[in-house]
Structure 1
């Protein structure tokens, strides 16, 4: 895609990867609307010259209000990024984990679907545009400490594949961003996490390709994406399972 002339709605862009990419799209020459729940950050972004819209992807009415406001600001909006996400460790031996699981699925999967549903008629009506969904390397190579996060991101991958097939012929493309561990709030505890600025630069280079790749895969995520193909899957999952010792009461078995 031509990253210098897009009109982008970055849903979940008030921190982390979303904010990094919002700034990079703006620097490349695109117009950007940032959506999020943190009103104080949205106000700050408005002062920096970015349009900002409040949105809670777990609230259908909020999603519709945000869509209407984003299209009021930019009727030519052509790119929607479903960046909102959350994750947490879960001990599946403790049924109380279910409350966290519900939140993760509601934000990561259902939130993605809500945003896509809200903007699909607009993008089809203009006969062109791009959805950028956000899955994760963990969706292809699970991190057993975060089981529902992994499941939700695997679901986003499958949904993205189906969405691309269903929108074929409409002029609307679907690109799936597959981050590895990145030095943000979710990935900050990983000593191997990729620096945010390095990740952002590599992502923008990939997005700038023509045609836009179906999957945006930085080098650091390839070991996750292709683990099954390369025959390393079971070994890597076993290695990652060692982190289960960090859960309460697991160190003693």
Structure 2
């Protein structure tokens, strides 16, 4: 992926990693379109970052995706990069029937929403040169954090989906990159002040440096996520799962 001269749509772009990516890509000379559910946050992004466009989008709503596709096709026909970043992470107790709603919402947003975005926007990307889909998964796709079982499962599924997507769109000239964050200091799961989470600025710097150094990369994995990503291959899976289980017990 080239790091400048793109037209990039970022879902979940009003906060956290999504907003950080939007700012960074905008500063590097890309046209950025930030998509999000809350109009007031979209207005703030537009006011604070002149040149960034915004669009209302709820990726859990198929009709909202269809409207966004038509709006982007009209306003930005040169779109060549889709970053599927929107997602939710909430704790669940699998012994509590009330947690089923959390699980269903998580699947609808993290997995089904991303799949619907790919189906909706791929026809726009295949007509462009330097077309890219970036799916933001998680290190927890590779070793789960037991307190968020459905979140982990959606990210593991997204990893598998990205692998298949990469094969299917290769002949069409579309690159597929999986971005694999560790815990990052954002409001997701209340990690904004966690010493155990990676500072957002550090994550963005390292991820963008890796992208610039490896433009043909299939995965972008920062060092803080690498030991989790490779735990199975390195024989550390059981130890990490036990560590994450202990972290859950201490919450």
Deviation at 1:246, TM superposition (A): 5.1
Structure 2 unaligned residues grouped into runs of 5+: none
- Aligned-partner SS, 2:246: helix
The residue aligned with 1:229 is: 233
Structure 1 unaligned residues grouped into runs of 5+: 248-253
The residue aligned with 1:25 is: 25
The residue aligned with 1:14 is: 14
**Farther off after superposition, 73-82 or 43-52:** 43-52
Deviation at 1:208, TM superposition (A): 1.9
> What's the TM-score once normalised by structure 2's chain length?
0.95
Q: Distance between the aligned counterparts of 2:121 and 2:67, measured in 1?
A: 12
- Aligned-partner SS, 1:125: coil
- Aligned-partner SS, 2:99: helix
The residue aligned with 2:243 is: 239
Length, aligned pairs only = 247
Task: Tell whether the 8 Å contact from 2:79 to 2:128 is kept in structure 1 after alignment.
Answer: no
Counterpart check, 1:167 vs 2:169: yes
The residue aligned with 2:218 is: 214
Counterpart check, 1:81 vs 2:83: yes
> What's the TM-score once normalised by structure 1's chain length?
0.94
Q: Distance between the aligned counterparts of 1:207 and 1:64, measured in 2?
A: 30
1:219-244 Cα deviation digits (max 9, x unpaired): 10001100011111001101111233
Task: Tell whether the 8 Å contact from 1:84 to 1:108 is kept in structure 2 after alignment.
Answer: yes
Deviation at 1:128, TM superposition (A): 4.5
After TM superposition, which residue ranges in structure 1, 4 or more long, deviate above 6 angstroms? none
Deviation at 1:82, TM superposition (A): 0.4
Q: Distance between the aligned counterparts of 2:226 and 2:132, measured in 1?
A: 23
